[in-house]
Amino acid sequence: MKIISEKNEAKRVGIVKRLIESVGQKIGNVHFIKRSTGKKRRMCYKLHVKAPSYANVPKGDKSTKSNSKKKTDYRTKIVFDTNKLLYNKRGNLVGRGDYRSIPLENVIRISVNGTIYKIMA
C-alpha cells in the first residue's frame, strides 16, 4: 500500500484524478465519502464505456466543463459503476452498471492496476 499525503486540496484532487484516469480500459476500485450522507462508499468503476441501452447517459461531463472567462473545476469525475443493478418497472433485471460521479476531494483509497493508494489530507 502506497500512502499519498498532500495538505493542499487542489494538488490532492489533481493526484486523485490522475490515479482514477490511469486505470484505462480496466476496472478500478475507489473508496470515498458521499457528499449527501457523509457515509463511506466503495465502488468498482470503469472509464470510457460506450452508452449501454439500459443506462442513462450523463447530460454533460461536469469534471471538464469550462467557462469562456475562467476554467471551472467541479472536483468530480463521472465513471461507470460496474456493480449497480438496474431493474425495469416490473422488477426484472435489465442490466448491470450505471453512471456515477465521484467527489475527488473525498476519496480515501484507490486501487489501480493492483496497487493500493491511501489518500491522506
Per residue of the chain (121 residues), give pLDDT as tens. Answer: 899 998 999 999 999 999 999 998 899 999 999 999 999 999 999 998 887 777 777 776 555 444 444 455 568 999 999 998 889 899 999 888 889 999 999 999 999 988 999 999 7
The grid coordinates of residue 79 equal 465513471
* pLDDT the model gives residue 66: 45
CA angle 121, 6, 20 (to 5 degrees): 90
* pLDDT the model gives residue 62: 53
Handedness of CA 35, 36, 42, 45 (dihedral sign): negative
* pLDDT the model gives residue 24: 87
pTM across the whole model: 0.80
Pairing of strands 76-87, 40-46: antiparallel
Residue with cell 425495469: 88
* pLDDT the model gives residue 68: 41
* pLDDT the model gives residue 60: 61
* pLDDT the model gives residue 121: 79
